[in-house]
Amino acid sequence: MTARTPAVARKPRIGLVAGGLGAYWPQFPELLPRLRRSAARVTERLSAFDAEVVDAGFISDAEEGAAAAERLRAADCDLIVGFLTTYMTATMLVPVAQRSGAPVLLINLQPSPAMDHASFDTGQWLAYCGACPLPEMANAFERVGVPFRSVSGHLEDERAWERIGRWIRAAGVRAALRGGRHGLMGHLYPGMYDVATDLTMVPGQLGGHVEVVEFDDLRVRVEEARDGDITAQLDRTREVFDIAASVDEDDLRWAARVAVGLDRLVADFDLDSLAYYHRGLNGEVHERLGAGMILGSSLLTSRGVPACGEYELRTSLAMLITDRLGAGGSFTELQALDFTADVVEMGHDGPGHLAISARKPLLRGLGVYHGKRGWGVSVEFDVRHGPVTLVGLGQTRDGRYRLIAAEGEVVDGPHLEIGNTTSRVSFGCDPGEWTDAWSASGVGHHWALATGALLPELRALAGLTGLDLVEVAVR
């Protein structure tokens, strides 16, 4: 059986239109060739972001702007970049902003950091005049109901290109959400009100599709798993994990068998993420399936198909966001506070993102999963030490989703050896105060723990999706 290639492989499609005021061309013959060279450089730099660039050409008037708008609309872009090479009227770009169906980013990148004031004439100055129309564009966009965003700098300004890169990465995440297929298998963990989600809110606010999957869909695929596939999964497991002496060989083989079935389930339903929970009773097959998910879910998560327990659809979506930002994203909850070291201990007994482990992950055998039915193997590690970002998808009283995030640092220290993905996170403040602020944000029981400082990318994502972003910090 061939493992599914996740949708992360799709590059964001970036539409590009550059332009300037056509009245200048006969007045200053050297200007247009120079601006076209700048536009070619922008195309080159955009392509370096591992993006597919759809170049609609260089426009000089409103009629050409309307034609470019139609080309970009047909291209189904994830982000439109409008390059203001010099002054241009709002009538040239408003059609692009209105008709493309994609968010628009305006960039003003002059040829160099500064003009040579002593030698420049009017034609040379105009090549540096991309800032001139920005306020005009912002006002026009406001009045036609199009969100405005821009980046100003110069062609080789790495600060500006980093900001542009954030918008491109955010556009890729937005595209993954809008085109994603999100599996929901089993039933709600009893009593967890915060986990319950109206499934129409996902396509309504993020796009994509929620596929309701039965545990019996997994059961039949686990029953059909071939010995050769199970053996291959066991071989891979022994390569990826250290195996604790507490792991029972029969339990390990069962987890590998379930992992084979999970791979088949994800492929058959074409899933980009999966949230699951099933209680089961008295050791029957559904209880054993629910308890055998951790190995296969961790392997899925590590290759770009986030999977999490407790029916936490919003957290599997948060994990998808952080994974598509290249930051991993492990299923996480609060575990304990260490007031001696001023850290918050967090993690989960369940699937983790193996790519962000600080060490080779460990498989530990457990006789019981706390608060759940069943027994078997669980994954144990701590997240790579250094900067991390917590990302949750909260839901308000009126049903709206919102991104909730906090930046911290994973630090060294003692860990429980109980088959959990535990990390010690410092937020530079009293851990009790931080915990109160985080809980008050409306985040819910679980979230994604990802590597790196992601708030700039999350701000861009919020700007493209219309989601509110709550940043939790205690000063």
The predicted-structure confidence for 243-286, as pLDDT tens digits, reads as follows 999 999 999 999 999 999 999 999 999 999 999 999 888 888 99
The CATH number corresponding to 7-173 among 3.30.56.10, 3.40.50.300, 3.40.50.10860, 3.40.50.10940 equals 3.40.50.10940
Residue 453: how many other CB atoms lie within 10 Å: 16
416-425 pLDDT, tens digit each: 887 788 899 9
**β-strand partners of 308:** 275
Separation CA 391–CA 454 (nearest Å): 9
Contact (Cβ atoms closer than 8 angstroms) between residue 248 and residue 291: no
Confidence of residue 119 (pLDDT cuts 50, 70, 90): very high
Q: For the chain, how many residues are written?
A: 475
29-46 pLDDT, tens digit each: 999 999 999 999 999 999
Residue span(s) of the chain under CATH 3.20.14 come to 179-471
Confidence check: pLDDT of 17 > 70 = yes
Joined together, the tokens standing for residue 112 give: 């160099």
Cα 369 to its chain centre, rounded Å, is 29
Separation CA 386–CA 244 (nearest Å): 27
Q: What is the DSSP letter of 5?
A: P
Start-to-end C-alpha separation, the chain = 52
Q: What is the DSSP letter of 356?
A: G
Residue span(s) of the chain under CATH 3.40.50.10940 come to 7-173
- Which of 138-152, 368-382, 383-397, 456-470 has the least mean pLDDT? 368-382
Q: Rounded mean pLDDT of 404-419?
A: 92
- pLDDT score recorded for residue 348: 86
Q: At what angle do helices 249-269 and 294-302 cross, to 10 degrees?
A: 50
Q: What angle do CA 334, 338, 339 make, to 5 degrees?
A: 125
Give CA torsion, residues 199, 200, 203, 208, to 10 deg.
40
Q: Rounded mean pLDDT of 147-168?
A: 97
**Average pLDDT score over the chain:** 93
Nearest to 280 by CA among 361, 362, 369: 369
Q: Which helix (H) or strand (E) holds 36?
A: helix 31-47
Q: What is the DSSP string of 215-234?
A: HHHHHHHHHT--HHHHHHHH
Q: For residues 181 and 8, which has the higher predicted lDDT (pLDDT)?
A: 181
Residues of the chain above pLDDT 70, percent? 96
Confidence check: pLDDT of 368 > 80 = no
Q: Which residue has the tokens 């590597």?
A: 451
CATH code: domain 179-471 is 3.20.14
Separation CA 349–CA 330 (nearest Å): 11
Tell me the three state secondary structure of residue 331.
strand
